[in-house]
Amino acid sequence: MKRREFLKAAGAGMAATAIAAPAVAQSMPEIRWRLTASWPKSLDTLYGSCETFSKYVAEATDNKFHVQVFAAGEIVPGLQVLDAVQNGTVEACHTATYYFIGKDPTWALFCAVPFSLNARQQNAWYYDGDGLKLMNEFGKKFNVHSLVGGNTGAQMGGWFRKEIKTVDDLKGLRMRIGGLGGTVLQRLGAIPTQIAPGDIYPSLERGTIDAAEWIGPYDDEKLGFAKVAKYYYTPGVMELEAVNQIMVNKAAWASLPPR
């Protein structure tokens, strides 16, 4: 093709694109979703990530796709968010999948397990080791499609109302702990229990539980654990890190336009 003819053809193509672009943008439907979180609003790292997600989705779609975020308890309790997504009460949730090991212990593998990977290794598995593919193959039985939604990074061992000097001190210890870490502690004599984030402080304060693990100094301080538990231990070998997920109802996911 001659240079002049090529430039003429290219110019016509660019003009067609310029005309088509607004039409494509105008064809984008208004989408409104509700996302329920497992976190209280006081946790600006975890709940804040939901707000950041909502903001980026809106910006990427010229404000056509709105995701309204709700804290734990505003629609459903923090540990019931998977149920809400499964049955279509909401389109999405933000959570830690190891909360649902009672439904199937496999969920822990997509969040955190004792003595396992750190945050960088976990992300490498997700993006380069078919972790995402495996998670969504597994998620079909629960009617959800999942996206990686942040990582807590290194975690601490937890807050204790009494000093722990030997393994024997764990016997009879009532501890809030998520995932499979509780199974390990149970074999050492502890009594693990799973409590939603917003309920940990009052449970420690009343003595309903004797200890609790959460994340690390910043988030733990937000929930005030230092006021009701004197002893803080590290590292968090029961949970070296925790991957969070945005879980989406499969019908809602399938209904999204390709754009």
* Domains of the chain, start order: 31-152+242-255 (3.40.190.170), 158-233 (3.40.190.10)
Give residue 19's pLDDT.
Answer: 44
Give residue 259's pLDDT.
Answer: 83
**Are 247 and 145 within 8 A, CB to CB?**
yes
Query: Tokens representing 51?
Result: 């707000």
Give residue 15's pLDDT.
Answer: 44
Phi-psi category of residue 130: left, alpha or beta, with phi > 0 → left and psi -120 to 50 → alpha: left
What is the rounded average pLDDT of the residues 211-239? Answer: 94
Residue 1 has pLDDT above 50, yes or no: no
Secondary structure (3-state) at 212 = strand
Note the pLDDT tens digit of each residue in 33-44: 999 999 999 999
- Segments of the chain assigned E as strands: 31-37, 65-70, 92-95, 144-151, 158-160, 174-176, 191-193, 211-212, 231-233, 243-249
Residue in 81, 133, 40, 26 with CA at minimum distance from that of residue 246 = 81
Q: How far apart are CA 50 and CA 48, in angstroms?
A: 5
Query: Tokens representing 228?
Result: 């009701």
Residue 20 has pLDDT above 60, yes or no: no
Give residue 26's pLDDT.
Answer: 62
Residue 215 has pLDDT above 70, yes or no: yes
Q: How confident is the model at residue 71 (pLDDT cuts 50, 70, 90)?
A: very high
- Average pLDDT in the chain: 91
Give residue 225's pLDDT.
Answer: 96
Q: How far apart are CA 71 and CA 50, in angstroms?
A: 9
Query: Tokens representing 200?
Result: 């940990």
Residue 21 has pLDDT above 80, yes or no: no
Give residue 7's pLDDT.
Answer: 45
| Range in 25-34, 127-136, 197-206 the model is least confident about | 25-34
Note the pLDDT tens digit of each residue in 103-131: 999 999 999 999 999 999 999 999 999 99
The pTM (predicted TM-score) of the whole model is 0.87
Helix (H) or strand (E) holding 193: strand 191-193
**Are 159 and 204 within 8 A, CB to CB?**
yes
What is the rounded average pLDDT of the residues 206-233? Answer: 96
Q: How far apart are CA 223 and CA 216, in angstroms?
A: 11
Residue 243 has pLDDT above 60, yes or no: yes
